[in-house]
Amino acid sequence: MHHVNLTAAADAKFQERLAKASGQDVKQCYQCGKCTAGCPIAYAMDEPPNRIMRMLQLGLKDEVLDSKAIWLCSTCATCTTRCPKNIDVAGVMDSLRVMAKQEGRTRALRSIDLFNDIFLGSVRKYGRVHEFGVGMGHNLRMGKLLKDVDIGTGLMTKGRMKLFPSKIKGQGEIARIFNEVYKLEEAE
Amino acid sequence: MRYAYYPGCSLHATAREYDQSTREVCGALGIELVEIPDWGCCGATSAHSTSHLLSVALPARNLALAGSMGLDITVPCAACYQRLRYAQIELEQNEAVREKVARVTGTAYDSKVDVKSLLEVVVGLAPETLKSKIVRPLDALKAVCYYGCLLVRPPRVTGFDDPEDPQIMDNLLRTCGAGVLDWGYKTECCGASMGISNEEVTLKLVRDILRVAEKAGADCLVTACPLCQNNLDSRQTHVNRAFGASFEIPVLYFTQLIGLALGIEPGRLGFNSHFVPTDKILKLIT
């Protein structure tokens, strides 16, 4: 296990922003560890959820926002469901990803951030997600051209692959939602 | 009984058989589905991982479309269901979000529609409605029901069944005569879209789920989510390769099994489109 510098000055602004964005009071956490015990992905995380919660209490912004854990979280919400202090831990993870993204700190696990970008790009362009395009786009950008070729071929022969995207009539409305959301968030 | 039907993106492509079997079963049970015209994507995990406002605004458009139809919504996909339901609650309870959504969508949200998972709708039928129509009971079948994450969590959003040990799919299949087995992995996570972005994690989670299902003695896994179905079915060969395992467990949608019990032809329920062959399931039933 690696070490975390606990004497780094607490970033109070970061704590405030997180509280506002997530609507959660992380100070309520008393380290029972239930979130980590139930987390299906804790085994692969650099900092398991209960440690993230403790680091948030200590205001360790860099350590948290640069962790892989916040990207590995699948938002299954087992932690939220089981927290005896009713903290929406998965909601906190969402807010942390949003903050990390806003600050351009997405290098800890680029593949997941990239997936989100490609997925939302597809929705913005067509109004619905074009699964084949998203899978192909991700493979291309990650330089793994042959990943899941067997699954892709299987889906195609079973008639479960839409090769070409189709635009919905309200695509303009969807694109507008994206534009307005990003404009509003930037202003804030 | 009429519902505004929100299939979601997967049901028009990789989960076509879920759409097919949903329409067949609802038709047979007298549940009328009217597809929401020009519905858009719910934004899924990628939206709520990057912007809370976007994750409510995208579903809000769909809720408004259903509102103008005057119908409650039913959603087969667990992920879409949870996102639409979350947006419904946020829009009802959070005035600041409601106001912002009105600004970004250009329309004030005053929809009163309710969002229900397809599973809830089918379970909500009078028990005789389903029972009286069963012509091919699933007596010989041993199944485990896999609910995954988003149908049951977080309970503040979904809340129609026990989040740790849900029962409604179990009971539904029991009504169809199936031997439904108890097991401990009903609500474990399959890794969802990490199948694409981080496959090692998904393979480990899928391996664990398949192992417990096999130990329970299941002939098949039954799901209500296109992402779960895809990960568990199409990635089984990847799991076998990665872990030196030899799983061959069919993964079906609950609508496909109900459809069989109702006497609907397997072809019309999409039984020819699985990765793990389903012949042994069909042999057990017919």
Residues B145 and B279 in one domain: yes
A166–chain B nearest CA distance, Å:
11
Give the helix, strand, coil percentages of chain A, each rounded to 5: 60, 0, 40
Interchain contact, B38 vs A169, CB within 8 Å: yes
Domain that holds residue B196: 127-285
Residues B169 and B208 in one domain: yes
- What pLDDT is stored for residue B231 in this prediction? 97
- What pLDDT is stored for residue A1 in this prediction? 57
Of B100, B120, B140, which residue is a domain's last?
A: B120
Residues B94 and B116 in one domain: yes
CATH number of the domain where residue B84 is located:
1.20.1050.140
Residues B154 and B279 in one domain: yes
The total of other beta-carbon atoms located within 10 Å of residue B200's CB is 11
A:B CB pairs within 8 Å? 175
Q: Which residues of A fall within a CB distance of 8 Å from B196? A: 115, 134-135, 138, 148
CATH number of the domain where residue B161 is located:
3.40.50.11810
B272 touches chain A (CB under 8 A): yes
pLDDT grade, residue A5 (50/70/90)? confident
Residues B19 and B91 in one domain: yes
Interchain contact, B235 vs A151, CB within 8 Å: yes
Of B120, B151, B177, which residue is a domain's last?
A: B120
Give burial (CB, 10 Å; 0-12/13-18/19+) of B32.
exposed
Residues B203 and B251 in one domain: yes
Q: What is the value of ipTM here, to two decimals? A: 0.96
Residues B64 and B108 in one domain: yes
Q: Which residues of B fall within a CB distance of 8 Å from A162? A: 12-13
Would you list the DSSP string of B4-67?
Answer: EE---GGGGTTTHHHHHHHHHHHHHHT-EEEEPTT-----HHHHHTT-HHHHHHHHHHHHHHHH
Which domains can be identified in chain A, with CATH numbers?
Answer: 12-105 (1.10.1060.10), 108-187 (no CATH)
B129–chain A nearest CA distance, Å:
32
Of B120, B152, B178, which residue is a domain's last?
A: B120
The total of other beta-carbon atoms located within 10 Å of residue A36's CB is 20
B275 touches chain A (CB under 8 A): yes
Structure-token pair, residue B279? 């012949």
- What pLDDT is stored for residue A3 in this prediction? 75
Residues B158 and B274 in one domain: yes
- Find the CB nearest B16 among A72, A159, A180: A159
Quote the percentage of chain A above a pLDDT of 70: 99
A184 touches chain B (CB under 8 A): yes
The number of domains in chain B is: 2
Q: Name residues of chain B where pLDDT drops below 50.
A: none
Closest CA to B251 of A101, B270, A15, A142: B270
Residues B135 and B272 in one domain: yes
- What pLDDT is stored for residue A78 in this prediction? 98
- What pLDDT is stored for residue B69 in this prediction? 96
- What pLDDT is stored for residue A9 in this prediction? 76
Residues B107 and B140 in one domain: no
Does the pLDDT value for residue A188 go beyond 90?
no
- What pLDDT is stored for residue B280 in this prediction? 95
Contacting residues for B226 by C-beta, under 8 A, at least 6 apart: B8, B10, B11, B14, B15, B18, B77, B79
Residues B166 and B275 in one domain: yes
Residues B206 and B113 in one domain: no
A 65-104: CB under 8 A from B: 72, 74-78, 80-81, 88, 90, 94-95, 97-98, 101
Q: Read off the pLDDT of each residue in A163-179 and give the average, rounded to a whole number.
A: 97
